[in-house]
Amino acid sequence: MLDTSAENQRRHDLHPDQPVWLFGYGSLIYKADFPFLARRPASIDGWARRFWQGSHDHRGTPDHPGRVVTLIRAPGNRCAGMAYQVTPDVFQHLDHREKNGYLRVTTRLTFSDGQQQAGLIYLATPDNAAFLGEASEEHIARHIAASHGPSGSNTEYLLQLAEALRQLNVGDEHVFRIEHYLLASAG
Ligand code: SIN
């Protein structure tokens, strides 16, 4: 199975005493299973959240991957989420959690007060082996409804993300439309 954790451990030369900001836009918004020093709503410019990444290890299996979010370049678009200030030792755990195609990349975060800061994101680019790519939101909803993995159902991932975005007052038509189709088909 694809495992980007070794590459992630190699590519960043982080000083153990120097905290960094990590921006979460998917499960990292609602599942903070790691210690952090501070947490602040934030956004990144030029990106859009899309359910285009396959999940072989959390919300699906190698034979039936689920669909989870990654970021796609979208000039003019702002993607909102949650930023965490963490010490670099936390990446041991996070690199393992995000190993199915995500690479750590540096980007610029904007906090809700307008202040900006460099930070890291986990990005799964279209050239990674687990990438599933674009599909209609109806199709994605059906795919999610049928997928399960070691971390639970793919439906739970979608619903928890949609709820977390609502709590942050974040509009995301892609996520909310998929949620709508999924709930409508569930009756
Ligand atoms: C993230 O949440 O920032 C990365 C994708 C995921 O774990 O759902």
**pLDDT of the residue at 11:** 77
Q: Is 158 in the pocket of ligand 1 (CB under 6 A)?
A: no
Interval 93-118: pLDDT, tens? 999 999 999 999 999 999 999 999 99
Tokens of 1: 């199975």
Interval 37-51: pLDDT, tens? 999 999 999 999 999
Q: Which of 23, 25, 90 maximizes ligand 1 atoms within 8 Å of its Cβ, making it the mutation to test the pocket?
A: 25
- What is the pTM (predicted TM-score) of this model? 0.95
For CA atoms 65, 32, 174, 121, give the dihedral sign: negative
Amino acid at position 169, single letter: N
Residues that are catalytic: 98
User: How far is ligand 1, taken at its centre, from the CA of residue 125, in Å?
Assistant: 13
DSSP result, the chain: ----HHHHHHH----TT--EEEEESSHHHH---S--SEEEEEEEEEEEEEEEEEESSSSS-SSS-EEEEEEEEEEEEEEEEEEEEE-GGGHHHHHHHTTTT-EEEEEEEEETTS-EEEEEEEE--TTSTTB-----HHHHHHHHHT-EETTEEHHHHHHHHHHHHHHTT---HHHHHHHHHHHHHT-
**pLDDT of the residue at 105:** 95
- How many C-beta atoms surround the C-beta of residue 185 within 10 A? 11
**pLDDT of the residue at 115:** 97
Give the residue, by CA position, lying nearest to ligand 1 atom 3: 24
Tokens of 38: 């501070």
**pLDDT of the residue at 20:** 96
Domains, the chain, ordered by start: 5-186 (3.10.490.10)
Q: Is 27 in the pocket of ligand 1 (CB under 6 A)?
A: yes
- How many C-beta atoms surround the C-beta of residue 26 within 10 A? 24
**pLDDT of the residue at 14:** 80
Query: How far, CA to CA in Å, does 151 sit from each of 9, 156, 169, 170?
Result: 23, 10, 26, 25
In order along its 187 residues, the chain shows pLDDT tens digits of 789 998 888 877 788 889 999 999 999 999 999 999 999 999 999 999 999 999 999 999 999 999 999 999 999 999 999 999 999 999 999 999 999 999 999 999 999 999 999 999 999 999 999 999 999 999 999 999 999 999 999 999 999 999 999 999 999 999 999 999 999 998 6
**pLDDT of the residue at 9:** 87
**pLDDT of the residue at 17:** 84
